[in-house]
Structure 1
């Protein structure tokens, strides 16, 4: 998993938005819903555990991108959609913008803003997580500091924390750091800082780093409150379980 993550991070630096649309076989400007649909379809086709049987299926698409390319393209387009949504919001709340005063169309304004919009600054929580690279045993301490300082929580922060939970687990520790990871999710939920999208991102990271078998997936599923078991969440964790183990779990309504 570590080498795969490194490849994705390295590849993300060179993959453009235009290339990402091409990888997912989408026209430029496709909606986030269309991006997700294409991603789930191509992830199933290109996952290493599914590749061995694709040659036996008549009519299967040839010349598919790699699994790494598919995941990275989705992440690039998801970030792009988030950036464009922020720009749209900025435009709607700026009555003196050039577009509203006759100085250009809204798309022109968004393009100009996008060209000068810097990359998202890392949150302080993400910076604190840098300590986990050398000492993953500090995952609980870092989380406690994030809570005590009431820092903004990002998906990347949860991912780093749960990676550390998994790395800190000893071979004799059967849960692979799962209990610590789930306790962090419970505390974040009690603190009221888990939005639906952040909860889904956190669950995906728990599955990616801490799930070892079907039993641990059941434990993750059981940790979700009933009111949070929406169709979107169930589909997300089902695909995450497939992507990171190749095993279907039976919780996806769209399967």
Structure 2
């Protein structure tokens, strides 16, 4: 993967420069901003792939800055950093698309591992006959930088997989025309590497099906109602592991 353009936002210059040095050693391009206002200026000049942003900043706080950055660069991933307990602010950030929250002092190997998993783009196919579910999950993934296509039944899903470039499928196991397990089998017959996340609203009733599917590589299972943070993390990890040719380990 080519180097990313990364923005580090922290009013502790020594801390920011330390993080920048580590990231630049991995061939990433790094800009440093000491405030939310300065971060917005950088974002106007240079679109970035990833930002590390301290929650507590002078002037505009980190969460407000993050929300403004989203308007300028909706596809970028943002990792919030905090040395304090600020649950409400962090909850607001996660609900609005922050990719992760890290507690200071940061663990350098963890940072590098997270950066290595970043992929700036990708297309997700969501298959579900519930229009509200399609709409809400589409919004979550689009906020995280993914392109989204949808299908409301199995036949449409199969056509999408055959005709579009798809990087991951989010597949409801209960559909009105074709059983989700059959769709999964058809997808696997065409591509063993295409990641698939099976979604179920009835985990006890469908435990047998879910267990069989979850043992496959490049596969995950999620239960409705879906947690947005877990969804983003699972999609990011499945897609990035597939890009690197690594098996997905649940």
Q: TM-score, normalised by structure 2?
A: 0.32
Higher helix content, 1 or 2: 1
Q: TM-score, normalised by structure 1?
A: 0.31
Higher strand content, 1 or 2: 2
